[in-house]
Structure 1
Amino acid sequence: MKINPFSLAALALVAGVWFGSEANAGTLFARGAKWSYYKGNDHPSDGDLEWTESNFDDSDWPSGASPIRYGDGNGGTVLRDMRNTYSTMFFRRTFTVARASQISALDLLVDYDDGFVVWINGERVLNVGGSADLSHDSFASISHESGNFET
């Protein structure tokens, strides 16, 4: 399974997985995990959503430890050139689940500013404040300050 979030200035992404009826969760990736990212100066792929597909080659994208951020927060990868240069960031992360058929829920904890959209294997699964057009030069449709993880 591959997670390919499109984010509008997202700062950190952490996810947990619950297996079937088991009460315990497993963490797929946590703070400090390496993510591939693309600065939204232009579109990240030839096709509109090609970059969200599991077979998309992101080997030319830079990568860094999460949180990948501008401004607020501590640790991770700091994007010092974002202000007045680009409004969007594209993030990709590959993960494998041993017993995918037993997953009953996937919780994504996100610290973001101002919105984000998440795809898993090319399927949009969550949109929080993402603009209607989702172009590389979009702005979020809401105002939200980072600083707290939300599920």
Structure 2
Amino acid sequence: MGATMQVLRGFMLLLWGVLLVITVVDPSQVDGNAAVMTAVVAGVYAVKFGWRALSARLGVNRCYLCADGVAVTDRFGRVRDSVAWSEVTGVRQTAVAGLVAGFHRVEISRSRPNTPFWRPAPPLWFVAPGIKSPLVRALLEEGRRSGALQ
């Protein structure tokens, strides 16, 4: 979803550049096209950077590493899921590197003592942005230190 929005913002900037070139060719279009499009571009980027600052302040969509385990929050800053290191049976990591973005998808498999064998506990998963994410490195080091991972 984030990569799609980034591509759409890029197309919007491209359209804005085309409108500015048209405005240079025909200056009477400043009020009709260029001013409105400039306001739209400024509004979209203001919302993007405003949401980024607000979500960082509220602790939204975060992964917290603790000595006892891992906790992941949702869009509203509440704990979505957590797992203790004693329940971890494995970690599966998928790295994706593309032209637009790169990220890691981490899936932590777990076993719960009171869960029937035919219905395994659902894995905890999260997405860490960046090709060389310090979060993934810290997660693996903390898992090895606690003895949950080899």
- Whether TM-score is above 0.5 comes out as no
Bigger helix share: 2
The structure whose RCO (Cα within 8 Å, separation 6+) is larger is 1
Q: TM-score scaled by structure 2? A: 0.21
Which protein is bigger by CA-based radius of gyration?
Answer: 2
